[in-house]
Structure 1
Amino acid sequence: MTTYGKTIRLFLVDGTTNGLTTAELSNWTGIGIKVPRIKIKEYSNRIEFQKPGVYILIGKGENNEDAAYIGEAEVIADRLTQHISNKDFWHEVIFFGSKDKYLNKASVKYLENRLHELAIKAGRYSINQNTPTRSELSEAEQAELEEFLAHIKVLTATLGHKILESLEETLETKVSEQQMFYCRNGAGADSKGSPSTEGFIVYKESLFMINEQPSLPDGIRLERQQMLNDGDLKVDEDFYRLTKDYVFTSPARAAAATLARSASGPLEWKTSEGVQLKHFDL
């Protein structure tokens, strides 16, 4: 399917990144708003806050993991004021409404459910809430809202949070379809991965060496420990097993984490035929 470029207009209402930011797409009736929690009361009389919409509260969970709560409201300002009183984890909110009267109670309930579905599928943030009920809408209404949802997804990432974007969407297409890379050694380490727009993805069930060599950089040693603390790595007999797809910032870090020693990513990652990553224009 052919994709086209998009023009996004960001406006810093008070001239700084610490206040309210609006985000709009050309030829779209919707609008996105990002605002810090401590600034909500200051801006709550703006028209965008007085309309129906969907919102994402952004913060940190109990284990310092990225966490979010997704909701809907007929009047955004009223719901956010409630959450200031009853939810402590969040520090900013992104919400989406319409510049006209397009959104109503049924449509925001539909969008709430779909946003929750996308966030759970992406698995980037902890979403500790029940699945919202989806409104019963006509096929035509759903098609229109799916287009609205696609714009929300783009603007949420533009505003700094890829909560709705799965790791698969960051892959280089020609690699994901035709090539997979492996990092292995004679001791049994066995990782599978792919380059992505965020660095290098190592896939769930990959096996990492446990015993760390002196050459392993301290930064990667700490990252492995954090992965253990977060449950991303689990001891499985003589290895660490990766419990989820995980993004490293580079192939070198991914290889070093797998082999528990200093490693060159372009040399260690190879196709099933043994062709090294360095031979690909990635």
Structure 2
Amino acid sequence: MNTHPQTIQIFLPSGDPQGIRVASITTRIVQVIDVPRSLLPDFLKMPEAAQVGLYFLIGESESGDQPQVYIGQTGSLAERLATHNQKKEFWNRALVAISLTNNLTGTHASFLEWLSIAQADKAGRYAMENGNAGSRPHTPSPLQAECTELHDTVRVLLATLGYPVFEPLMRVNSKTDDPSMFYCRASDADARGLFTEEGFVVLEGSSGRLQATPSFHKYGGASLRARLIENGVLTAVGDRAIFTRDYLFSSPSAAAGCVTGRMSNGLLEWKDTQGRPLSEVRGTPSNNGNAS
């Protein structure tokens, strides 16, 4: 992933920052239009709705632990989004990627759809409503190179608008020991994680106790664990729960509880290589009870 200084412009057609937003990089031909579902009729009247495009339907899961995304492409955004408005319930925003020069073809869109589904699934931030990416469409090499550049623009614009569909949870080599790594080895756990600006990430390969305590069930902590097992983030191996991929928790305590199978204060449970708790390393006050 290339990162470099870029100028991004966000245009508000109605002047309302909560309304439709149009984001573009000043030197690129692709723009992303953020459409609240309630304003979909307004978008369908815009000339952009008649174009070939790539789109992302975004919604929150009922459990609230991971947002959802459906990724698609179409030769007529107006027709396809109108259909989804009637038949798909989960989404509350549509993010539409189109060409400023109106030169995207069906071949572009098909490859971008395949690439986007594969990259979103790899990032693991959103629950995928598509199922799988399907087979890679046949695309000539020059067109693939063009689509890869277009995809990078879409990635940046989505993240700028607040939807980091393709952003990796970790920007460091989390597969090796790192001075910023924290460990949880209480209650038969053997887990590694990193405290980030978004929450606490438990790393792939970490393990914890499979059986949860009665109090963990009583106060609702076990429900998240059950969903992670159902979604394949955690897999049961004997009496252990193994993380099959990196997973972002809202707080260190949520991460520690999922790993240990009991109510936990994550600021105390997660410790660095020197045995210092997260609260001491980060200078965060910790109470004797659970912490967020």
Q: TM-score range by the shorter chain?
A: 0.7 to 0.9
**What is the TM-score normalised by the length of structure 2?**
0.77
Counterpart position of 1:57: 57
* Alpha-carbon distance between aligned partners in 2 of 1:116 and 1:242, rounded to the nearest angstrom: 22
User: How has the CA–CA distance of structure 1 residues 20 and 82 changed in structure 2, closer, same or farther, with 3 Å as cutoff?
Assistant: same
Greater mean alpha carbon deviation, residues 47-56 or residues 132-141: 132-141
Residues 116-140 of structure 1, C-alpha deviations (whole Å, 9 max, x = no match): 1112212222323453554433322
Counterpart position of 1:226: 224
Q: Quote how far apart the aligned CAs of 1:263 are.
A: 3.4
1:10-25 to structure 2, matched below 5 A, reads 10-25=10-25
Matched AA of 1:181: F
1:251 and 1:265 in contact (8 A); partners too: yes
Counterpart position of 1:73: 74
Q: CA RMSD in A?
A: 3.4
Matched AA of 2:14: D
User: How has the CA–CA distance of structure 1 residues 240 and 109 changed in structure 2, closer, same or farther, with 3 Å as cutoff?
Assistant: closer
* Alpha-carbon distance between aligned partners in 1 of 2:4 and 2:122, rounded to the nearest angstrom: 25
1:255-270 to structure 2, matched below 5 A, reads 255=256, 257-259=258-260, 260-263=262-265, 265=267, 268-270=270-272
1:165 to 164, 167, 171: 167
Residues 70-122 of structure 1, C-alpha deviations (whole Å, 9 max, x = no match): 11112211211122233232222101001103311111111011011112212
2:235 and 2:243 in contact (8 A); partners too: yes
* Alpha-carbon distance between aligned partners in 2 of 1:201 and 1:10, rounded to the nearest angstrom: 31
Matched AA of 1:68: V
Counterpart position of 1:203: 203
Greater mean alpha carbon deviation, residues 130-139 or residues 188-197: 130-139
Counterpart position of 1:181: 182
Counterpart position of 1:88: 89
Counterpart position of 1:245: 246
Greater mean alpha carbon deviation, residues 50-59 or residues 156-165: 156-165
2:51 and 2:76 in contact (8 A); partners too: yes
* Alpha-carbon distance between aligned partners in 2 of 1:122 and 1:175, rounded to the nearest angstrom: 14
Q: Structure 1: give runs of 5+ residues left out of the alignment.
A: none
2:182 and 2:271 in contact (8 A); partners too: yes
**What is the TM-score normalised by the length of structure 1?**
0.80
* 1:125 and 2:127 aligned: yes
User: How has the CA–CA distance of structure 1 residues 67 and 210 changed in structure 2, closer, same or farther, with 3 Å as cutoff?
Assistant: same
* 1:106 and 2:107 aligned: yes
Matched AA of 1:248: F
Counterpart position of 2:47: 47
2:225 and 2:258 in contact (8 A); partners too: no
